[in-house]
């Protein structure tokens, strides 16, 4: 079942601008993760934020998590052409007593215009 929903589905910006993507989910989570996928390739883990964290940074990436609203955002600052990719949020809601694994949203396709 789909847990995360990214918004927008597609985003096109100029190189150097900031890109913001949002993710909403439905159930309580252990952590939320963001992944990048270049066309048809494997997903690359970008950043993980635990349910008791509100903000996390990694290089040009900034992730926020609001568990009361069940939402997260990914901000990429000073975008580059190489950032063109699809970005997915994934939630880990595993309880240890049943289904286990990440549940992915459908992704935001980001295009950076040179």
Partner 1 sequence: EAQVTQNPRYLITVTGKKLTVTCSQNMNHEYMSWYRQDPGLGLRQIYYSMNVEVTDKGDVPEGYKVSRKEKRNFPLILESPSPNQTSLYFCASSLKGPYRVYGYTFGSGTRLTVV
Q: Which residues bind partner 1 (CB under 8 A)?
A: 1-2, 30-31, 33, 35, 40-45, 48, 50, 88, 92, 94, 99-107
* Beta carbon of residue 42, minimum distance to partner 1 (angstroms, whole number): 4
8 A C-beta contact, residue 35 and residue 44: yes
- Closest by Cα among 48, 24, 31 to 105: 24
Return d(Cα 7, Cα 32) in angstroms, integer. Answer: 15
The least CB distance from residue 86 to partner 1, in Å, is 10
Which CB, 44 or 78, lies closer to partner 1?
44
């Amino acid at each position: 079942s789909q847990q995360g929903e990214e918004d927008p589905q597609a985003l096109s910006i100029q190189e150097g601008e900031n890109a913001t993507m949002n993710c909403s989910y439905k159930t309580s989570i252990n952590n939320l993760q963001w992944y990048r996928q270049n066309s048809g390739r494997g997903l690359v883990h970008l950043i993980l934020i635990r349910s008791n964290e509100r903000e996390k940074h990694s290089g040009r990436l900034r992730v926020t998590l609001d568990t009361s609203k069940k939402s997260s955002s990914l901000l990429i600052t000073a975008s580059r052409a190489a950032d063109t990719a699809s970005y997915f949020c994934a939630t880990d809601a595993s309880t240890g007593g049943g289904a286990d694994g990440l549940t992915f949203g459908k992704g935001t396709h980001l295009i950076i215009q040179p």
